[in-house]
Amino acid sequence: MQFINYFNQDAYTNIAMDAWLLKNLKPEKPVFSLWQNKKAVIIGENQNTFAEVNPEYITEQNVQVVRRVSGGGAVYHDLGNICFTFFVPVATSASVDFHQFVKPMADALESLGIHVDISGRNDLEIDGKKVSGNAQRYAGGYLMHHGTLLWDTDVDAMVRSLNVADEKFISKAAKSVRSRVGNIKDYAPVGLTLDKFIEQLKYYLTDEGRDSEYKLTDAQKNSILKLRDEKFSQWSWNYGKSPQFMYNNHAKYSGGAIDVQMDVDSGHITDINFTGDFLGVRDWREMKSQLIGIPFTREAVAEVLDKNKEGQYFGSVTNDELLETFFQKDEVVTNG
Ligand SMILES: Nc1ncnc2c1ncn2[C@@H]1O[C@H](COP(=O)(O)OC(=O)CCCC[C@@H]2CCSS2)[C@@H](O)[C@H]1O
């Protein structure tokens, strides 16, 4: 198989590249790539990004968040994780089969002395632990099949970046299927490094180095960068394309308990209501219209709350506490 080089480790670029190549590469024979992202959470096409990520952690740790064009759940990437993508001409989308792609990857690993099992969901597993997840997208006679290989990923960072199935978000969005994960490195022959691992996978899949590299032209690269800039790096795609959802949260403070119920569409608040036993100096509904239409982000909500500080709509509950009502995933109890 010909190999195509993904030229950097920026998740916006690489997810744009997957999408662009699916539409534009149109190879006569299968082409594949092996590539890596810096810290990122990659969201499935039909997922609610707000429900899948832990906003505080990803902001703090500079974890990129990117929506891909294939289905399935949210996964965490770092430089210990390797991604692979196959682009294949296919007769119809109906002929598409996960096993057809997962099997050669399993064989490649076996050739390196690493035994893996293929699970019922077409994940690769070692010792009952998931080490690879896969997803696909069909478009106009071509199929993109891509997946991950957990070589030496920071599992603690993975767990912190991804949000647990959260009943505070109600929607028809696709849910991730949480698994026990493992790292291939722990089961690999001693002395096999990440670089050697990638090199050997490439060697195996290029028919022992006999297949040539598919070279992208500068014009093709520029089109990919343009797609990245216009779509895959944009909030309106990564968050804004989340299916409509309802968000409920409850928080308790020394100044009273607050329940918030919100409708969010295209990432923007379309309705909001507060209930609770807080003693507002004035009625919070006076500022309701200012919250409607803004993006569901900490910055946008903070700005409105700040502008309305004087109203003391929530009595002695502070703006910082209020922000927790909006964004904290678990019930917060402050000041005892
Ligand atoms: N990097 C990685 N690899 C494998 N499994 C992971 C990873 N990160 C998280 N997980 C585990 O999988 C579930 C989600 O599993 P779920 O089955 O819901 O989703 C997937 O597997 C999707 C794979 C997409 C692969 C694409 C290839 C190129 S861009 S992303 C998550 O909750 C974790 O438990």
Residue pLDDT, tens place only, 36-60: 999 999 999 999 999 999 998 999 9
Q: How confident is the model at residue 92, as a pLDDT?
A: 81
Number of H helices, E strands in the chain: 11, 16
CATH topology of domain 245-327: Enolase-like; domain 1 (3.30.390)
How far apart CA 107 and CA 180 sit, in angstroms, is: 22
Regarding the domain delimited by 2-238, which CATH topology (the fold level of the hierarchy) does it fall under?
Answer: BirA Bifunctional Protein; domain 2 (3.30.930)
Counting from 1 in the atom list of ligand 1, the atom nearest the Cα of 37 is 29
For ligand 1, whether the C-beta of 168 sits within 6 Å is no
Is residue 91 packed enough to be buried (19+ CB in 10 Å), middle (13-18) or exposed (0-12)?
exposed
Length of the chain: 336
Q: In the chain, where are the structural domains located? A: 2-238, 245-327
Q: Is the CB of 129 under 6 A from ligand 1?
A: no
Q: Residues near 93 by Cβ (< 8 Å), separated by ≥ 6? A: 138, 143
Helix (H) / strand (E) containing 269: strand 268-276
Q: Is the CB of 182 under 6 A from ligand 1?
A: no
**Ligand 1 atom at shortest distance from the alpha carbon of 179:** 34
Q: What are the start-end ranges of the H helices in the chain?
A: 11-24, 49-52, 55-60, 99-111, 155-161, 194-205, 218-227, 235-238, 288-291, 298-307, 319-327
Backbone angles phi, psi at 119, to 5 degrees: -80, 170
Cβ proximity of 256 and 278 under 8 Å: yes
Contact 51, 169 (CB under 8 A): yes
- pLDDT by residue, tens only, the chain of 336 residues: 999 999 899 999 999 999 999 999 999 999 999 999 999 999 999 999 999 999 989 999 999 999 999 999 999 999 999 999 999 999 887 767 899 899 999 999 999 999 999 998 899 999 999 999 999 999 999 999 999 999 999 999 999 999 875 788 999 999 899 999 999 999 999 999 999 999 999 999 999 999 999 999 999 999 999 999 999 999 999 999 999 999 999 988 888 899 999 999 999 999 999 999 888 899 999 999 999 999 999 999 999 999 999 999 999 999 999 998 888 755 434 333
What pLDDT, on a 0 to 100 scale, did the predictor assign at position 91? 86
Phi-psi region of 238 (alpha: psi -120 to 50; beta: other; left: phi over 0): alpha
Pairing type for strands 245-253 and 31-35 reads unpaired
The SS3 of residue 194 is: helix
**pLDDT, tens digit, for every residue of 137-181?**
999 999 999 999 999 999 999 999 998 757 889 999 998 999 999
Q: Which residues contact 255 (CB under 8 A, 6 or more apart)?
A: 278, 279, 314, 315, 316, 317, 318, 321
**Residue minimizing CA distance to atom 30 of ligand 1:** 42
Lookup result for tokens 């007769």:
91
ipTM for the whole complex: 0.99
